[in-house]
Amino acid sequence: MEVTRKEAAQLLLAADDILILCHRNPDGDTMGCAHALQHGLRSLGKRARIRCSDPFPSRYSFLWEGEAGQDFAPRFIVSVDIADEGLFGEGLADCLGKVDLAVDHHPSHRFFARNTLLEPDSAACCEIICLLLREMGVSLDRQAALCLYTGMATDTGCFKFSNTSPRTHRLAAEMMEAGAPYAEINKRVFETKSAAEFAAEREALNTLEVHCGGQAALIVLSRELYSRCGVTEAELEGIPSLPTRLEGVEVGITVKEREPGSYKISMRSVKRVNVSDVCRQFGGGGHRYAAGCSLSGSLDEVKSAVLKAVEAALA
Amino acid sequence: MEVTRKEAAQLLLAADDILILCHRNPDGDTMGCAHALQHGLRSLGKRARIRCSDPFPSRYSFLWEGEAGQDFAPRFIVSVDIADEGLFGEGLADCLGKVDLAVDHHPSHRFFARNTLLEPDSAACCEIICLLLREMGVSLDRQAALCLYTGMATDTGCFKFSNTSPRTHRLAAEMMEAGAPYAEINKRVFETKSAAEFAAEREALNTLEVHCGGQAALIVLSRELYSRCGVTEAELEGIPSLPTRLEGVEVGITVKEREPGSYKISMRSVKRVNVSDVCRQFGGGGHRYAAGCSLSGSLDEVKSAVLKAVEAALA
Residue-wise pLDDT tens digits, B144-203:
999 999 999 999 999 998 899 999 999 999 999 999 999 999 999 998 888 888 888 888
Q: A205: pLDDT confidence band, cut at 50, 70 and 90?
A: confident
pLDDT digits (tens, 9 = 90+) for A272-308: 999 999 999 999 998 888 999 999 999 999 999 999 9
Q: Say which of B172, B195, B208 has its CB closest to residue A246.
A: B195
CB atoms within 10 A of CB A222: 16
pLDDT digits (tens, 9 = 90+) for A186-196: 999 998 888 88
Q: Contact, B245 vs A191, CB < 8 A?
A: yes
Closest by CA to B312, choosing from B268, B284, B288, B281, is: B281
Asked if the Cβ–Cβ distance from B191 to A241 is below 8 Å, we say yes
How close, in Å, is residue B73 to chain A by CA atoms?
Answer: 40
Among A127, A152, A159, the residue to mutate for chain B (most B Cβ within 10 A): A159
- The C-alpha torsion from A127 through A238 and B162 to B132, rounded to 10°, is -70
At residue A239, φ and ψ (nearest 5 deg) are -60, -45
Asked if the Cβ–Cβ distance from A198 to B205 is below 8 Å, we say yes
Distance CA B202, CA B230 (A): 14
pLDDT digits (tens, 9 = 90+) for B74-131: 999 999 999 999 999 999 999 999 999 999 999 989 999 999 999 999 999 999 999 9
Average pLDDT score over residue span B18-37: 97
Contacts of A299 (CB under 8 A, 6+ apart): A220, A255, A257, A263
CB atoms within 10 A of CB B97: 9
- Secondary structure class of B19 (helix, strand, coil): strand
Any idea how long chain B is?
Answer: 315
Q: Say which of B158, B169, B176 has its CB closest to residue A160.
A: B158
Task: Determine the residue type at B294.
Answer: S
- Return the pLDDT at B271: 87
Query: Worst-scoring range by mean pLDDT, A93-102, A136-145, A147-156, B239-248?
Result: B239-248
Distance CA B263, CA B278 (A): 16
Average pLDDT score over residue span A38-58: 96
At residue B213, φ and ψ (nearest 5 deg) are 60, 35
Q: A198: pLDDT confidence band, cut at 50, 70 and 90?
A: confident
Q: A140: pLDDT confidence band, cut at 50, 70 and 90?
A: very high
Distances in Å between the Cα of B238 and the Cα atoms of A56, B83, B263 are: 30, 21, 17
**By percentage, how much of chain A surpasses pLDDT 70?**
100
Contacts of B231 in chain A (CB under 8 A): none
pLDDT digits (tens, 9 = 90+) for A218-269: 999 999 999 999 888 777 878 998 999 999 999 999 999 999 999 999 999 9
- Return the pLDDT at B194: 85
User: What is the phi-psi region of residue B245: left when phi exceeds 0, alpha when psi lies from -120 to 50, beta otherwise?
Assistant: alpha
Contacts of A153 in chain B (CB under 8 A): 160
Q: Is residue A156 pLDDT above 80, yes or no?
A: yes
- Secondary structure class of B244 (helix, strand, coil): helix
Name all contacts of B91-95 with Cβ < 8 Å and 24+ positions apart.
B91/B24, B91/B51, B91/B52, B91/B53, B91/B54, B92/B21, B92/B24, B92/B51, B92/B52, B92/B53, B95/B19, B95/B21, B95/B51
Q: Contact, B303 vs B282, CB < 8 A?
A: no
pLDDT digits (tens, 9 = 90+) for B54-69: 999 888 999 999 899 9
How close, in Å, is residue B209 to chain A by CA atoms?
Answer: 12
Q: In what helix (H) or strand (E) does residue B198 lie, and over which residues does it extend? A: helix B195-206
Q: Say which of A176, A206, A270 has its CB closest to residue B187.
A: A270
Asked if ipTM goes beyond 0.90, one says no
Distance CA B184, CA B31 (A): 17
- The C-alpha torsion from A299 through A305 and A309 to A315, rounded to 10°, is 90
- Could you tell me which residues of chain B have a Cβ less than 8 Å from any Cβ in chain A? 153, 157-162, 164-167, 169-170, 172-174, 176-177, 182-183, 186-187, 190-195, 198, 202, 205-206, 208, 241, 244-247, 270
Q: The pTM is what? A: 0.88
Asked if the Cβ–Cβ distance from B158 to A159 is below 8 Å, we say yes
- Return the pLDDT at A215: 97
Among B150, B182, B201, the residue to mutate for chain A (most A Cβ within 10 A): B182
Q: Say which of A153, A195, A205 has its CB closest to residue B246.
A: A195
Q: Contact, A242 vs A248, CB < 8 A?
A: no
Report the Cα A143 to chain-centroid distance in Å. Answer: 20
- Could you tell me which residues of chain A have a Cβ less than 8 Å from any Cβ in chain B? 153, 157-162, 164-167, 169-170, 172-174, 176-177, 182-183, 186-187, 190-195, 198, 202, 205-206, 208, 241, 244-247, 270
How close, in Å, is residue B109 to chain A by CA atoms?
Answer: 24
Asked if the Cβ–Cβ distance from B166 to A182 is below 8 Å, we say no
pLDDT digits (tens, 9 = 90+) for B197-253: 888 888 888 889 999 999 999 999 999 999 999 888 777 878 998 999 999 999 999
Distances in Å between the Cα of A285 and the Cα atoms of A25, A48, A117, A278 are: 15, 30, 19, 8
Q: Which residue of A has its CA nearest to B161?
A: A183
Distance CA B22, CA B63 (A): 14
Q: Contact, B31 vs B155, CB < 8 A?
A: no
Contacts of B169 in chain A (CB under 8 A): 159, 169-170, 172-173, 176
Q: Across chain A, what does the average pLDDT equal?
A: 95
Asked if the Cβ–Cβ distance from B202 to A205 is below 8 Å, we say yes
How is B48-110 classified by DSSP, letter by letter? Answer: EEEE-SSPPPGGGGGGTTTPPP-----SEEEEES---GGGS-GGGGGGTT--SEEEE--TT--
Contacts of B159 in chain A (CB under 8 A): 158-159, 169, 172
- Return the pLDDT at B108: 87
The C-alpha angle B58, A214, A277, rounded to 5 degrees, equals: 110
Q: Say which of B160, B193, B195 has its CB closest to residue A190.
A: B160
CB atoms within 10 A of CB A2: 11
Q: Contact, A113 vs A95, CB < 8 A?
A: no
Contacts of B194 in chain A (CB under 8 A): 246-247
Asked if the Cβ–Cβ distance from B192 to A245 is below 8 Å, we say yes
Among B156, B247, B268, B288, the residue to mutate for chain A (most A Cβ within 10 A): B247
